[in-house]
């Protein structure tokens, strides 16, 4: 099952936190409140991030690694833990598989080699490794700094290896946690909005699972996985995908290599967009279906980063002719000839509960106050604070957890004389994604798009704060004002993608795709910067 | 992915034991007497906890469950037998055998004077929690004369999200606590000055946009007097259109990041006019970020002229 293994409360009671590729202070502010409670109780905080972010300001140690060297860092930590005799041998022996091959794969990663590969001093790597391994409880939390790379899944697996090596999973205060970037990115996956999953995280290529859905739905569910988002764009490029129905997404501005994405969307036979706002993608659409706002104008559920399923409710009437997504989809199905019965959000939810064992006990009545964490198997089950406790039963119940063999691989686009700067992208506190929802509110801290550069690079380029420059990658160019940020090291630059109508950052980003997850390498493009005259 | 088939293709079995927090160490109980009735509370509990456990209502002003007590207001004082002075119930720990009076003449007089001092110097016109107390304790703020209104000052309206009217500030420190160590850890505001000059201030009294403020509005959430107010509410009040009796308050979940903060949407005439979060919510403890508290305009009908 894919989800953060721990509860927010656990980070308040842990002893060591690796915040890896995450600026949670700005991107998950209320989670960071819980994290700070832990820090104040004495937990050591390590932030691993190319930028010295506002999260890093709270850290005991900031490990400022070079973009895309996460696996090298994790491997070096793993080797240090093993050779220092700090691995949790009992857990490894009883609850995991593949340790010997894993050990062999990381043994070449000496502290010196790790320092050379990552830019993090050997002493810092050693300190992190020892602190993590020897802490009674320790957690790893990450965000898109881990997953928006061409080797996203391998990055995650390298962090899981660290948790398995030290037994820091499946216990209160120890766990591995992706902080989800959208209010229902966890729930969307749980509900089957993944190319290889049916609702309840059940694999579509599992015959027994599929048979149950076939019976419940009276249809034959296709027995093979579909395309992920990037796969869809590749299929558009090949001409295999010619009709697209986009619900609550703005791919015309959110996809990497935006020129390419726009051309593919424009080449579709039909594009249908269902959204709260008239997005840039909607401007390209043949049909626009105005949707009610999910969080404020619709009934349903969302699932958070601690696997907590909570109710969203209609707080006001939808604007104009907009309708709830459920009503639109049911109507569309009927127009296409399906005899779907009339139902409401609770009816759909109860259908899910009958098909997804981990949601079985979550009635609307039980979800009313504060929600429940999956798995929650039946109406008497209270939900589970953390996952994988079974790994601590002897003998282990069910399959053991496998170590993974992954290789360090630098970002697809290397720096060179023509494109000498590393561009990494991310969010700011007051904005959200392409600005569709945040644009309409007035924020006193909003300052528009900038290209953030280190003081050293600003001096070298001869540019000052606010000066407009042209930023160029192999895929496109934009003009943006310079912001000098001492949190950046020489060679590293940063932009958001919050203001695509003014500065289309994704004209610069690269659609180098992780073949396992379909995620693009938003975190690592190569760019050049040229000052513009006045 | 073959190395992961076993865990990828089927759900793992249930753990035998329910994954839970380790049990908290047992706490001894302490027995105290509240208004003549005996009540047991866990060791470390406050007199306020004991009073509430006994079903006695003790008014509070600067106290909030989510904040560290600062003992600033003295509204919650109770009488402890044998003690020289009245004790602030919000922070005084219960001790075995304490005999507490929550409503004795001395307690009532003290609360009355505190309320009179506040109401004579501060504009309490939007302090909805306080005004019933004035009546209940028979407070007469007018008895100190017009010269007592020492706090009046211009409204600070220097940004798009919230307004600070320190004429209404009772110096309860809740905003400072929420901005600081108890929740947000931004430290944009503090108490500056001493004695009569004590006031809530940004660093060097700069306007909010020049301060460290990140506009989470967690200070607004805890303000008991309306000195801190979100801009939409302030604007509607100025226009005489703020109408709580026409408002609904419905809980939903924030549309932004994946933390899953509960938002209580306060809706008037089909417009969201305010967002709060319940203090008892385990995820938020009443706190939100700038997007959660203010990023709702996209679901409101654009107003004429927008």
HSE (CB half, 13 Å, CA atoms) of A491?
Answer: 12
Q: Is residue B238 part of a domain?
A: yes
3-class secondary-structure state, position B196: helix
A122 shares its domain with A259: no
pLDDT at A267 over 90: yes
Res. B2 pLDDT band, cuts 50 70 90: very low
Pairing of strands A477-484, A372-373: unpaired
Average pLDDT over residues A471-497: 96
Q: Is residue A413 part of a domain?
A: no
Q: Give the percent of chain B with pLDDT over 90.
A: 88
Partners of B156 on chain A (C-beta within 8 Å) are: none
Option in A1, A30, A440 nearest B283 (CB): A30
Option in B161, B248, B283 nearest A444 (CB): B161
What does the alpha-carbon distance between residue B256 and residue A495 come to, in Å, rounded to a whole number? 20
pLDDT at A258 over 50: yes
List all residues of chain B from 194 to 233 with a beta carbon under 8 Å from chain A: 208-209, 213-216
A102 shares its domain with A134: yes
At A470, which CATH number?
A: 2.40.40.20
pLDDT of residue B8: 64
Give the other-Cβ count within 10 Å of B147's Cβ. 8
At B284, which CATH number?
A: 2.20.25.90
Q: Is residue A392 part of a domain?
A: no
B39 shares its domain with B123: yes
pLDDT of residue B5: 57
Res. B150 pLDDT band, cuts 50 70 90: confident
- Contacts (Cβ under 8 Å, ≥6 apart) of A147: A21, A155, A156, A178, A517, A519
A289 shares its domain with A189: yes
Res. A518 pLDDT band, cuts 50 70 90: confident
Strand residues in B205-261 grouped as ranges (E)? 228-230, 247-253
Q: Please tell me the total count of domains within chain A.
A: 3
At A27, which CATH number?
A: 3.40.228.10
Q: Is residue A235 part of a domain?
A: yes
Q: Taking CA atoms, what residue in B is nearest to A188?
A: B258
Q: Please tell me the total count of domains within chain B.
A: 2
pLDDT of residue A516: 86
Higher pLDDT, A417 or A1: A417
Record: contact A437-B7, CB cut-off 8 A: no
Best of B24, B159, B258 to disrupt the A interface (most A CBs within 10 Å) is: B258
B168 shares its domain with B286: yes
Rounded to a whole number of angstroms, the distance from the CA of B147 to the nearest CA of chain A is: 37
pLDDT at B17 over 60: yes
Rounded to a whole number of angstroms, the distance from the CA of B239 to the nearest CA of chain A is: 20
Q: Residue B3, exposed/middle/buried by CB under 10 A (0-12, 13-18, 19+)? A: middle
pLDDT of residue A390: 94
A34 shares its domain with A138: yes
Q: Taking CA atoms, what residue in A is nearest to B285?
A: A30
A248 shares its domain with A127: no
- Contacts (Cβ under 8 Å, ≥6 apart) of A332: none
List all residues of chain B from 136 to 175 with a beta carbon under 8 Å from chain A: 159-161
A425 shares its domain with A506: yes
Average pLDDT over residues A299-326: 97
Q: Are A17 and A35 in contact (CB under 8 A)?
A: yes
Average pLDDT over residues B125-130: 93
Contact of B265 with chain A, judged by CB distance below 8 Å, is answered with yes
pLDDT at B305 over 80: no
At B54, which CATH number?
A: 3.10.20.740
What does the alpha-carbon distance between residue A454 and residue B272 come to, in Å, rounded to a whole number? 41
Record: contact A357-B11, CB cut-off 8 A: yes
Res. B302 pLDDT band, cuts 50 70 90: confident
Contact of A430 with chain B, judged by CB distance below 8 Å, is answered with yes
Rounded to a whole number of angstroms, the distance from the CA of B228 to the nearest CA of chain A is: 16
Single out the residue in B76, B108, B143 at which a domain terminates. Answer: B143
Average pLDDT over residues A369-374: 95
Q: Is residue B169 part of a domain?
A: yes
pLDDT at B304 over 70: no
pLDDT at A533 over 90: no
Rounded to a whole number of angstroms, the distance from the CA of A396 to the nearest CA of chain B is: 9
Q: Taking CA atoms, what residue in B is nearest to A3?
A: B258
Residues forming a β-bridge with A468? A481
Best of A6, A30, A210 to disrupt the B interface (most B CBs within 10 Å) is: A30
Contact of A188 with chain B, judged by CB distance below 8 Å, is answered with no
Pairing of strands A270-275, A287-290: parallel
pLDDT of residue A2: 81
Q: Are A27 and B257 in contact (CB under 8 A)?
A: yes
Q: Is residue A527 part of a domain?
A: yes
Residues forming a β-bridge with B79? B101
List all residues of chain A from 263 to 282 with a beta carbon under 8 Å from chain B: 276-277
Best of B259, B274, B297 to disrupt the A interface (most A CBs within 10 Å) is: B259
Best of A34, A290, A441 to disrupt the B interface (most B CBs within 10 Å) is: A441
Single out the residue in A336, A356, A373 at which a domain terminates. Answer: A373
A255 shares its domain with A355: yes
DSSP state of A180: P
pLDDT of residue A343: 87
pLDDT of residue A218: 92
B166 shares its domain with B139: no
pLDDT of residue B161: 96
pLDDT of residue B1: 43
B175 shares its domain with B87: no
Segment A60-93, tens digit of pLDDT = 999 999 999 999 999 999 999 999 999 999 999 9
Partners of A442 on chain B (C-beta within 8 Å) are: 160-161, 297
Q: Is residue B306 part of a domain?
A: no
Segment A186-206, tens digit of pLDDT = 999 999 999 999 999 999 999
CA-to-CA separations, B58 to A335, B38, B78, B80, B174, in angstroms, rounded: 62, 17, 8, 14, 18
A445 shares its domain with A364: no
Q: Taking CA atoms, what residue in B is nearest to A40?
A: B181
B115 shares its domain with B200: no
pLDDT of residue B9: 67
Single out the residue in B112, B143, B174 at which a domain terminates. Answer: B143
pLDDT of residue B4: 59
pLDDT at A409 over 90: yes
Parent domain of A156: 8-178
Contact of A308 with chain B, judged by CB distance below 8 Å, is answered with yes
B118 shares its domain with B206: no
What does the alpha-carbon distance between residue A21 and residue A53 come to, in Å, rounded to a whole number? 10
Pairing of strands A492-495, A477-484: unpaired
B187 shares its domain with B107: no
pLDDT at B156 over 80: yes
Give the predicted TM-score (pTM) of the model.
0.96
Q: Taking CA atoms, what residue in B is nearest to A197?
A: B9
Which segments of chain B does DSSP mark as H helices, in order? 5-8, 47-53, 105-121, 131-136, 174-179, 218-222, 231-238, 290-294
What does the alpha-carbon distance between residue A189 and residue A193 come to, in Å, rounded to a whole number? 5
Mean pLDDT of chain B: 94
The distance of Cα B82 from the centroid of its chain, to the nearest Å, equals: 32
Record: contact B15-A1, CB cut-off 8 A: no
Q: Give the percent of chain A with pLDDT over 90.
A: 93
List all residues of chain B from 15 to 34 with a beta carbon under 8 Å from chain A: 15-22
B224 shares its domain with B133: no
A29 shares its domain with A73: yes
Parent domain of B224: 162-299
What does the alpha-carbon distance between residue A45 and residue A47 come to, in Å, rounded to a whole number? 6
pLDDT at B62 over 50: yes
B189 shares its domain with B295: yes
Record: contact B4-A294, CB cut-off 8 A: no
Q: Is residue A409 part of a domain?
A: no
Res. B237 pLDDT band, cuts 50 70 90: very high
A450 shares its domain with A502: yes
pLDDT of residue A342: 80
pLDDT of residue A185: 93
Record: contact B159-A297, CB cut-off 8 A: no
Average pLDDT over residues A437-466: 94
What does the alpha-carbon distance between residue A445 and residue A440 come to, in Å, rounded to a whole number? 14
At A298, which CATH number?
A: 3.40.50.740
Main-chain dihedrals φ then ψ at residue B137, nearest 5 degrees: -100, 5
Contact of B2 with chain A, judged by CB distance below 8 Å, is answered with no
Pairing of strands A16-20, A138-142: parallel
B137 shares its domain with B183: no
* Helix count and strand count (H, E) for chain B: 8, 12
Record: contact B298-A437, CB cut-off 8 A: yes
Option in A304, A386, A440 nearest B260 (CB): A304
What does the block give as tokens for A79? 């080797």
Segment A133-161, tens digit of pLDDT = 999 999 999 999 999 999 999 999 999 99
Q: Which DSSP string corresponds to A56-98?
A: GGG-SEEE-PPTT-HHHHHHHHHHHHHHTT-S-HHHHHHHEE-
Strand residues in A438-489 grouped as ranges (E)? 451-453, 468-472, 477-484
Q: Is residue A393 part of a domain?
A: no
Single out the residue in A149, A178, A207 at which a domain terminates. Answer: A178
Q: Residue A208, exposed/middle/buried by CB under 10 A (0-12, 13-18, 19+)? A: exposed
B126 shares its domain with B31: yes
Segment B213-230, tens digit of pLDDT = 999 999 999 999 999 999
A258 shares its domain with A131: no
Q: Is residue A193 part of a domain?
A: yes
Q: Is residue B3 part of a domain?
A: no
Q: Taking CA atoms, what residue in A is nearest to B15?
A: A390
Backbone region of residue A98 per phi and psi (left: phi > 0; alpha: psi in -120 to 50; beta: other values): left
Q: State the ipTM, two decimals.
A: 0.96
Rounded to a whole number of angstroms, the distance from the CA of A108 to the nearest CA of chain B is: 22
Res. B14 pLDDT band, cuts 50 70 90: confident
Record: contact B265-A172, CB cut-off 8 A: no
Single out the residue in B113, B143, B173 at which a domain terminates. Answer: B143
Single out the residue in A178, A213, A234 at which a domain terminates. Answer: A178
B200 shares its domain with B244: yes
Contact of A98 with chain B, judged by CB distance below 8 Å, is answered with yes
Rounded to a whole number of angstroms, the distance from the CA of A339 to the nearest CA of chain B is: 31
pLDDT at B196 over 90: no
pLDDT at A211 over 70: yes
Q: Are A128 and A77 in contact (CB under 8 A)?
A: yes
Q: Are A159 and A72 in contact (CB under 8 A)?
A: no
Q: Residue A531, exposed/middle/buried by CB under 10 A (0-12, 13-18, 19+)? A: middle
Average pLDDT over residues A516-533: 92
Higher pLDDT, B7 or A215: A215
Contact of B234 with chain A, judged by CB distance below 8 Å, is answered with no
Record: contact B252-A384, CB cut-off 8 A: no
Q: Is residue B5 part of a domain?
A: no
Option in B4, B11, B21 nearest A385 (CB): B21
Segment A381-394, tens digit of pLDDT = 999 999 999 999 99
A173 shares its domain with A189: no
Record: contact A444-B11, CB cut-off 8 A: no
Q: Is residue A414 part of a domain?
A: no
Segment B251-276, tens digit of pLDDT = 999 999 999 999 999 999 999 999 99
């Amino acid at each position: 099952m894919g989800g953060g293994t721990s509860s927010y409360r656990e980070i308040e009671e842990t002893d060591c936190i690796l915040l890896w590729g995450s600026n949670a202070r700005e991107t998950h502010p209320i989670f960071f409140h819980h994290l700070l409670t832990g820090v104040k109780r004495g937990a050591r905080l390590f932030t691993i991030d190319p930028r010295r972010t506002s999260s890093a300001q709270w850290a005991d140690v900031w490990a400022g690694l070079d973009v895309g060297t996460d696996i090298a860092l994790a491997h070096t930590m793993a080797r240090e833990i093993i050779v220092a005799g700090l691995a949790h041998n009992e857990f490894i022996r009883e609850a995991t598989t593949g340790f010997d091959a894993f050990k062999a794969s990381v043994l070449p990663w000496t502290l010196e080699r790790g320092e050379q590969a990552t830019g993090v001093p050997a002493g810092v790597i050693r300190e992190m490794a020892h602190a993590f391994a020897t802490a009674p409880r320790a957690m790893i939390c990450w965000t898109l700094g881990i997953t928006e790379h061409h080797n996203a899944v391998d990055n995650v697996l390298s962090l899981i290896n660290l948790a398995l090596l030290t037994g820091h999973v499946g216990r209160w205060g120890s766990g591995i946690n992706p902080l989800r970037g959208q209010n229902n990115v966890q729930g969307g996956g749980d509900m089957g909005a993944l190319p290889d999953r049916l609702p309840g995280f059940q694999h579509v290529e599992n015959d027994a699972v599929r048979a149950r859905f076939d019976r419940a739905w009276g249809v034959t569910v296709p027995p093979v996985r579909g395309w992920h988002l990037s796969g869809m764009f590749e299929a558009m490029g090949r001409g295999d995908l010619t009709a697209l129905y986009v619900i609550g997404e703005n791919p015309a501005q959110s996809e990497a290599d935006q020129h390419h994405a726009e051309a593919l969307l424009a080449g579709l036979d039909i594009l249908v967009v269902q959204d709260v706002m008239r997005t840039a993608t909607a401007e390209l659409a043949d049909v626009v279906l105005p949707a009610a706002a999910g969080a404020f104008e619709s009934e349903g559920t969302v699932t958070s980063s601690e696997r907590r399923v909570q109710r969203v409710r209609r707080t006001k009437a939808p604007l104009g002719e907009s309708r709830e997504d459920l009503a639109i989809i049911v109507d569309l199905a009927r127009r296409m000839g399906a005899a779907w019965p009339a139902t409401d959000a609770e009816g759909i939810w109860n259908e899910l509960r009958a098909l997804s064992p981990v949601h079985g006990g979550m009635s609307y009545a039980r979800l009313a106050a504060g929600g429940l964490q999956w798995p929650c198997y039946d109406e008497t089950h209270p939900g589970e604070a953390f996952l994988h406790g079974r790994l601590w039963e002897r003998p282990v119940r069910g399959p053991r957890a496998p170590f993974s063999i992954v290789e360090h691989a630098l970002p697809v686009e290397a720096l060179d004389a023509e494109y000498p700067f590393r561009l990494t992208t991310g969010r700011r506190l007051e904005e959200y994604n392409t600005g569709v929802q945040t644009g309409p509110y007035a924020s006193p801290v909003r300052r528009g798009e900038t290209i953030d550069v280190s003081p050293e690079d600003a001096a070298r380029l001869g540019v000052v704060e606010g000066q407009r420059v042209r930023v160029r990658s192999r895929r496109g160019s934009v003009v943006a004002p310079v912001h000098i940020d001492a949190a950046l090291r020489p060679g590293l630059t940063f932009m958001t993608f919050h203001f695509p109508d003014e500065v289309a950052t994704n004209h610069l980003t690269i659609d180098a795709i992780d073949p396992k997850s379909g995620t693009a390498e938003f975190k690592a493009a190569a760019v050049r910067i040229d000052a513009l005259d006045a | 992915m073959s190395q992961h088939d076993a865990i990828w293709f089927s759900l793992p079995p249930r753990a035998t034991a329910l994954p839970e927090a380790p049990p908290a160490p047992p706490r001894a109980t302490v027995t105290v007497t509240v208004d003549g009735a005996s009540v047991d509370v866990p060791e470390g509990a406050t007199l306020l906890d004991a009073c509430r456990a006994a079903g006695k209502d003790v008014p509070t002003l600067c106290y909030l469950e989510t904040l560290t007590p600062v003992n600033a207001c003295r509204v919650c004082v109770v009488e402890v037998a044998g003690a020289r002075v009245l004790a602030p119930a919000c922070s005084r720990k219960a001790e075995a055998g304490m005999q507490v009076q929550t409503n004795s003449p001395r307690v009532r007089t003290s609360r009355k004077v505190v309320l009179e001092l506040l109401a004579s110097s501060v504009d309490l016109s939007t302090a909805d929690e306080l005004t019933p107390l004035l009546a209940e304790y028979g407070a007469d703020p007018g008895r100190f004369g017009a010269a007592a209104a020492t706090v009046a000052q211009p409204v600070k309206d220097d940004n798009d999200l919230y307004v600070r009217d320190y004429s209404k500030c009772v110096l309860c420190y809740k905003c400072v606590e929420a901005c600081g160590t108890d929740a947000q850890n931004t430290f944009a505001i503090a108490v500056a000055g001493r004695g009569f000059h004590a006031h809530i201030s940004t660093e060097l009294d700069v306007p909010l946009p020049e301060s460290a403020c990140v506009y989470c509005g967690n200070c607004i959430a805890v303000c008991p007097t309306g000195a801190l107010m979100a801009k939409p509410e302030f604007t509607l009040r100025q226009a005489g259109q703020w109408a709580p009796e026409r408002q609904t308050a419905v809980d939903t979940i924030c549309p932004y990041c994946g933390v899953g903060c509960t938002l209580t949407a306060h809706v008037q005439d089909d417009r969201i006019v305010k967002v709060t979060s319940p203090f008892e919510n385990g995820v938020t403890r009443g706190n939100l970020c700038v997007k959660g508290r203010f990023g709702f305009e996209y679901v409101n009908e654009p107003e004429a002229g927008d």
